[in-house]
Every structure is written in C-alpha cells, then in structure tokens.
Amino acid sequence: MDNMEAALDGSAETRQICFAKLMDTWSRCEEIITKLLDNTTDQKKIDLYTKEYEVVSADITELKF
C-alpha cells in the first residue's frame, strides 16, 4: 500500500499507470464475482472462484509501481 500511496503522490504519468493497473485488477475482481453469482449451486466452482478472488484481492494490496 505504501507503494501505491507514493505512486499517487508522484507524477501524472505515475498516477495514470497506478490507475490503469488498479482498474485492470478491479475488473478481474468484478469478473470473478459475476462467475460466483452465476454458479451459486456448484460448490467446487464457488471454492475455485473464491480462491481466485483472494489472489486478485491480494494483488491489489501488493501492486508495485
């Protein structure tokens, strides 16, 4: 997170890169949530998408710039 805060305090170019990476990762989260909602009766898929979501969520907090 410190890395992200520093990037947001940096130049306009760095902020744009930070925003693009964050939006890409966030869109992956949205896709996973949609998959979860579409497969609420399949426990194996729920487990799979939950793990995938946890990985992507961790990626957001560990973004490097």
Q: Residue 11: left (phi > 0), alpha (psi -120 to 50), or beta? A: beta
Can you give the pTM of this predicted structure?
0.61
Q: What is the DSSP letter of 9?
A: H
Res 15: pLDDT: 82
Query: What are the pLDDT digits (tens) for 16-55?
Result: 888 888 899 889 999 999 999 898 888 999 999 999 999 8
Query: What are the pLDDT digits (tens) for 6-17?
Result: 666 778 888 888
Q: Which residue bears the tokens 């992507």?
A: 56
Band (pLDDT 50/70/90 cuts) for residue 56 is confident
